[in-house]
């Protein structure tokens, strides 16, 4: 252990004398601290805003006066997706997805108003977050610090001396690796602060630790790449050029190319297109507003038979309300079928992209980071599903009130008879059936498990690079 | 030939440099990389545009068939307006393959009907957010972000490498003057990059029938951009420093101009120009539309008539439900949300204007935005499309209002005269 510490210590002293190393480290530190603070503030503001909007929407719904329950079905409700606590480190899909959905009867609306749609347009890379700084720029610092590790000794002809003095190639490499690992550890400090804030805001510390682990692995991969190339090439400038080329390929070019490839490999029909065939399916179901629609003849006959009466007026329930319930159930089955197909298509496309994580660790760590932070596609889809569950619950609750608390004879006459209309208005206390909506990320264990392919990718990269390091260490030549 | 005449020495230097370059395999390798990436970016763009066009063609046909089928079953004007949807769209331009721009994350297609427009126009049929987050590999991204990186790698150690190889002084001594030598060397390498980057784009433009003017302007932008980075690299390469310091500084410059300035600018602009929350627009519109059911009919017709005095004589509503009242409160819903909605549009415009100014200190953003403007895939194009949808929707109302208010007898043949959405009506 002692020689390792000695070698690592020597490297640290070298870095302290290098203005380049110091300058780059200071710049990266400034960038990390700035994005950490700004993103945390932004996401905290967003969380407060959306919670406020959610409370307002709920208050508006509950304060509606007495009226016909079906009017409330159309009045509808809003839900807002509150960002996960760890979104202050990795906002993930938050800016690219709509943050609110209008819920109403007979329809599933899309999530509207994504921040990316109304923000100033300043190019492809301008959504800077701490996560992105770690993914893109931290590797550059490791390259700058690590590219000279071995090749410097080789150029200065000290490598021969070191090896001749009996230092094994492996020990030398391990000592240098230890120095870079300590840099990785230091780099993770601002992230720890960000993650701690997330834990304070209510996320589990397990998720925070997993997040640190993912980035620890990612940065170690880059450190190992720097060390290996430094040990293999003869000239320092060649090492640097090779590493920078690798960085360009793995972090700038490949992720974007993979995105285009995924779009080609797993094409996705647009929502409008599926909506058209969905509309055709829906028309076959009959209009739930019209109790005389032939589509509901069977329902009416069954209902009359079950209660042993001849006329709908003699039923103990309001036929219109029963039809509304039945119609909404049938319609929602169809809507959900199309919505699941759309989500499955999105998930397929996302998986087609994620598989490129075997080629570039950036895609692996980015996906793992979003999954663990609770800002990935799976969470967005769960938000959509929970919003739909809430929609269905309050619409059917109102339809139940429609069926049970209103007389059919009043309901059919309310358009022409003011007194009947007055009797079809139900008390505002009925609106209390609305459930409170709060979106929270999945349990930490589940989030970590969802990133299993990414853990395997990062693990495989580490494993391969350590293997390569051992191999090169045995054959290290001056 | 007199030895030492400027033109002769330039010609000699050029020939010598070209000869040296022709044997430098690493430079050729980089040119090949640029060529391959450019081909990749352009083909991905062409594929995406083809995909969008095919989708659009399918939808235009399906939309028409759906409307015809729906209208057949209608018995009155109100029902015809209620049940018939209309496809609106912003077809990809003939240069869209080069810069897909906002088409990834903002809606470029809607199906609207004569209900309150504010409830419909913010629907997003946008693509996969995971893909939108990273962004596609289109020519604009390639040119703005990857070309400068290649230039940095190629040009940062022009002098430092020769110094290291011990040829520096010999080269300078035999070239006559030092400065033109390095400029020439950098210029030759950069020209290769420019040609390799531009060629695939030119071929794709030929295939897509892009107007010559667009192609020339795009090449002009790319050339100036390559010149900017070449000058920056050459200026820093003249610095008496080790190659690694120069490289790190140039990468720092790339990060600063391509990412840090834009990210800070975005945050600042979004803060300086606040826009109403989209949720508020929808809430206002929804309250107005829903309240109308409970209010006396006059409360709806009054604000409606203020905006449409020509229907004052026909604005009495006698029955509990009349279509003209129904559409009047839809219109009044839009009217109530109008101030917010206009502020939302004006805010986005203002943010984009400021972003355009800021782009002048962030060349990668300037290039990306310029190419998107040429391809009509920028924020301006998206706002213009939104304006076209609003105009079309207004046309629909103008078409139905006379029939509804004058209580004209239903004549399906008259529906033939219904306004049709024209793709790119306001384009030059």
B138 chain-A contacts, CB cut-off 8 A = 260
Q: Looking at CA atoms only, how far is residue A208 from chain B in angstroms?
A: 22
B347 chain-A contacts, CB cut-off 8 A = 118
Residues B90 and B198 in one domain: no
| Assigned token pair, B215 | 């192609």
Tell me the CA distances in angstroms from B352 to A319, B290, B364, one per residue in order.
54, 34, 16
Whether residues A118 and B344 touch (CB distance < 8 A) is answered with: yes
Residue of B nearest to A46 (CA): B277
Question: Scanning the structure block, which residue is given the tokens 């304060």?
Answer: A63
Q: Report how far residue B325's alpha carbon sits from residue B300's, in angstroms, rounded to the nearest whole number.
A: 8
Residues B296 and B397 in one domain: yes
B322 interfacial to chain A (CB closer than 8 Å): no
pLDDT value for A382:
95
Residues B112 and B218 in one domain: no
**Residues of B (387-426) whose Cβ lies below 8 Å from A:** none
**Residues of A (228-247) whose Cβ lies below 8 Å from B:** 235-237, 240-241, 244-245
- What pTM, to 2 d.p., does this model score? 0.89
| Domain boundary pick from B248, B281, B315 | B248
Residues B62 and B21 in one domain: no
Choose between A422 and B375: higher pLDDT: B375
Closest to B102 (Cβ–Cβ): which among A121, A128, A350? A121
B258 inside domain? no
**Residues of A (163-222) whose Cβ lies below 8 Å from B:** none
Q: Report phi then psi at A421, rounded to 5.
A: -60, -45
Q: Looking at CA atoms only, how far is residue A2 from chain B in angstroms?
A: 31
Please answer whether residues B132 and A94 qualify as being in contact, where contact means their C-beta atoms are separated by less than 8 angstroms: no
Whether residues B355 and A255 touch (CB distance < 8 A) is answered with: no
pLDDT surpasses 70 at B147: yes
Residues B152 and B24 in one domain: yes
**Residues of A (266-305) whose Cβ lies below 8 Å from B:** 267-273, 275-276, 279-280
**Number of domains forming the structure of chain B:** 2
A90 chain-B contacts, CB cut-off 8 A = none
Please answer whether residues A151 and A233 qualify as being in contact, where contact means their C-beta atoms are separated by less than 8 angstroms: yes
B264 inside domain? no
B129 interfacial to chain A (CB closer than 8 Å): yes
Residues B394 and B291 in one domain: yes
Question: Angle of helix A319-354 relative to helix A377-405, nearest 10 degrees?
Answer: 180
Tell me the CA distances in angstroms from B183 to A344, A429, B158, B180, B231, one per residue in order.
55, 81, 10, 5, 9
The pLDDT tens digits for B97-140 are 999 988 888 889 999 999 999 888 888 777 788 988 888 889 99
Whether residues A237 and B133 touch (CB distance < 8 A) is answered with: no
Tell me the CA distances in angstroms from A467 to A228, A365, A454, one per residue in order.
11, 21, 20
Choose between A165 and B270: higher pLDDT: B270
What is the extent of the structural domain holding B45? 41-137+273-417
pLDDT value for B3:
45
B294 interfacial to chain A (CB closer than 8 Å): yes
Residues B13 and B154 in one domain: yes
Residues B308 and B222 in one domain: no
B282 chain-A contacts, CB cut-off 8 A = 78, 102, 112
B161 interfacial to chain A (CB closer than 8 Å): yes
Closest to B269 (Cβ–Cβ): which among A80, A120, A255? A120
Residues 6+ apart with CB under 8 A from B207: B46
B132 interfacial to chain A (CB closer than 8 Å): yes
DSSP annotation of A270: -
B368 inside domain? yes
A75 interfacial to chain B (CB closer than 8 Å): yes
Q: Looking at CA atoms only, how far is residue A127 from chain B in angstroms?
A: 6
pLDDT band for B2, please (50, 70, 90 cuts).
Answer: very low
Question: CA A298 from chain center: how many Å?
Answer: 45
B266 inside domain? no
Residues B363 and B377 in one domain: yes
Select from B279, B290, B293, B116 the least CA-distant residue to A57.
Answer: B279
**Residues of B (344-383) whose Cβ lies below 8 Å from A:** 344, 347-348, 351-352, 354-355, 358-359, 362, 364-365, 368-369, 378-379
What is the extent of the structural domain holding A194? 2-474
Residue of B nearest to A261 (CA): B44
pLDDT value for B175:
64
pLDDT value for A262:
93
Provide mean pLDDT across the span B345-356.
Answer: 94
B153 chain-A contacts, CB cut-off 8 A = 241, 244-245, 248
Question: CA A405 from chain center: how many Å?
Answer: 43
pLDDT value for A153:
86
B363 chain-A contacts, CB cut-off 8 A = none
b vs e for B118-131, b when ≥16 Cβ sit within 10 Å of the residue's Cβ? bbbbbbbbbbbbbb
E strand intervals along A263-376: none
Q: Give the distance between the most distant pair of CA atoms in chain B.
A: 104
A42 interfacial to chain B (CB closer than 8 Å): yes
pLDDT band for B160, please (50, 70, 90 cuts).
Answer: low
Residues 6+ apart with CB under 8 A from B39: B200
B32 interfacial to chain A (CB closer than 8 Å): no
The pLDDT tens digits for B299-335 are 888 889 998 898 888 888 888 788 989 999 999 999 9
Whether residues B58 and A110 touch (CB distance < 8 A) is answered with: no
Select from B267, B130, B358 the least CA-distant residue to A46.
Answer: B267
B132 chain-A contacts, CB cut-off 8 A = 96, 116
Helix residue spans in A92-204 (DSSP H)? 115-118, 130-132, 138-146, 151-155, 158-164, 169-200
| Domain boundary pick from B248, B263, B295 | B248
pLDDT surpasses 50 at B427: no
Residue of B nearest to A122 (CA): B262
Question: Picking from A405-409, B349-353, B356-360, B361-365, which range would have the lowest pLDDT averaged per residue?
Answer: A405-409
**Residues of A (141-160) whose Cβ lies below 8 Å from B:** 144, 147-148
Residues B281 and B207 in one domain: no
B329 chain-A contacts, CB cut-off 8 A = none
Residue of B nearest to A99 (CA): B279
pLDDT value for A132:
92
Residues 6+ apart with CB under 8 A from B184: B13, B14, B17
pLDDT surpasses 70 at B37: yes
pLDDT surpasses 80 at B173: no
Q: Report how far residue B225's alpha carbon sits from residue A67's, in angstroms, rounded to the nearest whole number.
A: 64
**Number of domains forming the structure of chain A:** 1
DSSP for A422-471, please give it.
Answer: HHTPBPGGGGGGPPP----PPPHHHHHHHTHHHHHHHHHHHHHHHHHHHH
Residues B123 and B144 in one domain: no
Written as tens digits, the pLDDT of chain A (478 aa) is 788 888 889 888 988 888 888 888 888 988 888 888 888 888 888 899 889 989 988 998 999 989 899 989 988 899 999 899 999 999 999 888 888 888 988 888 888 877 777 888 888 788 889 999 999 999 999 999 999 888 888 888 887 777 777 777 788 889 999 999 999 999 999 999 989 988 998 889 999 999 999 999 999 999 999 999 999 998 888 898 899 899 999 998 999 999 999 998 998 887 888 888 888 788 777 777 777 777 788 888 888 888 888 888 888 888 889 989 998 999 999 999 999 999 999 999 999 999 999 999 999 999 999 999 999 999 999 999 999 999 999 999 999 999 998 888 888 888 777 788 888 889 989 999 999 998 999 999 999 999 999 999 999 999 999 999 999 888 887 7
What's the residue count for chain A? Answer: 478
List residues bridging with A80 in a β-sheet: A100
User: CA angle at residue B350 from B348 to B355, to 5 degrees?
Assistant: 95
Please answer whether residues B243 and A125 qualify as being in contact, where contact means their C-beta atoms are separated by less than 8 angstroms: no
Looking at chain A, the whole-number percentage of residues with pLDDT higher than 90 is 46
Question: Taken in order B318, B319, B324, B330, is the CA torsion positive or negative?
Answer: positive
Provide mean pLDDT across the span B148-172.
Answer: 78
The pLDDT tens digits for A115-149 are 777 888 888 788 889 999 999 999 999 999 999 88
A45 interfacial to chain B (CB closer than 8 Å): no
Phi-psi region of B179 (alpha: psi -120 to 50; beta: other; left: phi over 0): alpha
pLDDT band for B287, please (50, 70, 90 cuts).
Answer: confident
A3 interfacial to chain B (CB closer than 8 Å): no
Q: Looking at CA atoms only, how far is residue B343 from chain A in angstroms?
A: 12
DSSP annotation of A94: G
B16 inside domain? yes
Looking at chain B, the whole-number percentage of residues with pLDDT higher than 90 is 49
Would you call B184 helix, strand, or coil by DSSP? helix
Select from B285, B178, B277 the least CA-distant residue to B234.
Answer: B178
pLDDT value for B5:
56
pLDDT value for B428:
39
Residues B102 and B175 in one domain: no
């Amino acid at each position: 252990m002692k020689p390792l510490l000695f070698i690592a210590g020597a490297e640290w002293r070298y870095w302290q004398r290098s203005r380049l190393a110091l300058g780059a480290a200071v710049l990266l530190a400034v960038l990390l601290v700035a994005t950490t603070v700004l993103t945390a503030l932004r996401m905290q503001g967003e969380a407060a805003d959306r919670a406020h909007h959610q409370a307002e929407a709920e208050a508006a719904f509950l304060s509606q006066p007495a009226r016909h329950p079906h009017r409330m079905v159309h009045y509808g409700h809003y839900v807002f997706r509150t960002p996960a606590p760890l979104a202050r480190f990795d906002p993930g899909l938050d800016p690219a997805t709509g943050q609110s959905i209008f819920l109403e009867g007979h329809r599933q609306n899309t999530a509207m108003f994504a921040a990316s749609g109304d923000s100033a347009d300043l190019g492809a890379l301008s959504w800077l977050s701490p996560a992105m700084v770690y993914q893109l720029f931290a590797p550059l610092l490791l390259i700058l610090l690590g590219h000279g590790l071995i090749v410097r000794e080789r150029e200065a002809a000290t490598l021969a001396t070191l090896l001749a003095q009996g230092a094994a190639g492996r020990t030398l490499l391990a000592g240098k690796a230890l120095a870079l690992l300590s840099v990785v550890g230091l780099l993770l400090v601002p992230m720890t602060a960000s993650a701690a804030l997330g834990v304070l805001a209510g996320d589990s510390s397990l998720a925070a630790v997993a997040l640190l682990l993912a980035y620890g692995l990612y940065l170690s991969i880059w450190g190992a790449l720097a060390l290996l190339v430094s040990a293999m090439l003869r000239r320092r400038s060649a090492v640097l050029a090779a590493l920078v080329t690798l960085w360009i390929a793995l972090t700038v070019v490949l992720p974007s190319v993979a995105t285009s490839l995924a779009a080609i490999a797993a094409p996705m029909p647009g929502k409008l297109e599926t909506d058209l065939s969905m509309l055709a399916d829906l028309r076959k179901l009959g209009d739930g507003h019209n109790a005389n629609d032939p589509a509901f003849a069977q329902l009416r006959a069954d209902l009359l038979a079950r209660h042993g009466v001849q006329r709908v007026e003699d039923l103990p329930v309001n036929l219109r309300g029963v039809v509304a319930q039945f119609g909404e159930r049938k319609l929602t089955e169809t809507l959900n079928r199309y919505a699941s197909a759309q989500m499955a298509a999105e998930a397929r496309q996302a998986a087609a992209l994620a598989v490129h994580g075997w080629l570039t660790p950036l895609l692996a760590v980015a996906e793992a980071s979003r999954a663990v932070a609770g800002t990935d596609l799976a969470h967005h889809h769960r938000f959509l599903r929970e919003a739909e569950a809430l929609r269905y619950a309050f619409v059917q609750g109102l339809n139940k009130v429609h069926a049970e608390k209103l007389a059919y004879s009043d309901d059919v006459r309310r358009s022409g008879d003011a007194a009947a209309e007055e009797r079809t208005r139900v008390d505002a206390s009925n609106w209390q059936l609305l459930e409170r909506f709060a979106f929270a990320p999945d349990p930490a264990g589940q989030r970590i498990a969802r990133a299993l392919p990414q853990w395997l990718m990062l693990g495989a990269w580490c494993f391969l690079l350590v293997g390569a390091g051992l191999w090169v260490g045995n054959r290290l030549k001056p | 030939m007199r030895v030492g005449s400027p033109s002769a020495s330039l010609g000699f230097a050029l020939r010598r440099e070209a000869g040296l370059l022709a044997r430098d395999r690493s430079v050729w390798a980089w040119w090949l990389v640029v060529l391959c990436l450019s081909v990749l970016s352009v083909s991905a763009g062409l594929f995406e545009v083809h995909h969008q066009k095919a989708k659009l063609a399918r939808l235009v046909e399906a939309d028409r068939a759906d409307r015809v089928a729906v209208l057949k079953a209608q018995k009155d004007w109100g029902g015809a307006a209620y049940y018939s949807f209309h496809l609106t769209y912003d077809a990809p331009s003939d240069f869209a393959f080069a810069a897909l721009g906002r088409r990834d994350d903002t809606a470029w297609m809607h199906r609207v009907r004569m209900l309150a427009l504010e409830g419909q126009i913010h629907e997003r049929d946008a693509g996969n957010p995971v893909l939108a987050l990273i962004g596609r590999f289109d020519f604009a991204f390639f040119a703005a972000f990857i070309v400068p990186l290649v230039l940095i790698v190629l040009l940062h150690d022009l002098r430092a490498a020769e110094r290291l190889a011990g040829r520096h002084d010999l080269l300078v001594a035999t070239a006559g003057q030092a400065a033109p030598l390095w400029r020439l060397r950098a210029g030759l390498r950069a020209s290769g990059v420019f040609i390799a980057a531009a060629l695939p784009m030119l071929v794709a433009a030929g295939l897509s029938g892009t107007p010559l003017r667009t192609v020339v302007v795009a090449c002009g932008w790319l050339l100036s951009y390559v010149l900017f980075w070449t000058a920056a690299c050459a200026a820093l390469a003249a610095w008496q420093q080790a190659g690694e310091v120069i490289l790190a500084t140039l990468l720092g410059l790339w990060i600063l101009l391509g990412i840090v300035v834009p990210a800070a600018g975005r945050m600042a602009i979004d803060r300086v120009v606040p826009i109403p929350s989209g949720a508020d627009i929808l809430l206002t519109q929804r309250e107005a539309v829903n309240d109308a059911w409970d209010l006396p009919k006059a409360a709806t017709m009054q604000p409606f008539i203020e905006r449409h005095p020509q229907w004052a004589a026909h604005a009495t509503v006698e029955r509990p439900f009349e279509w003209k009242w129904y559409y009047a409160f839809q219109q009044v819903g839009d009217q109530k949300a109008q101030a917010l909605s206009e502020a939302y549009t004006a805010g986005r415009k203002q943010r984009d204007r400021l972003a355009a100014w800021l782009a002048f200190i962030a060349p990668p953003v300037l290039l990306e935005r310029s190419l998107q403007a040429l391809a009509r895939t920028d924020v301006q194009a998206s706002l213009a499309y939104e304006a076209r949808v609003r105009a079309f929707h207004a046309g629909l109302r103008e078409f139905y209002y006379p029939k509804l208010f004058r209580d004209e007898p239903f004549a399906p043949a008259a529906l033939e005269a219904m306004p049709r959405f024209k793709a790119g009506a306001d384009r030059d």
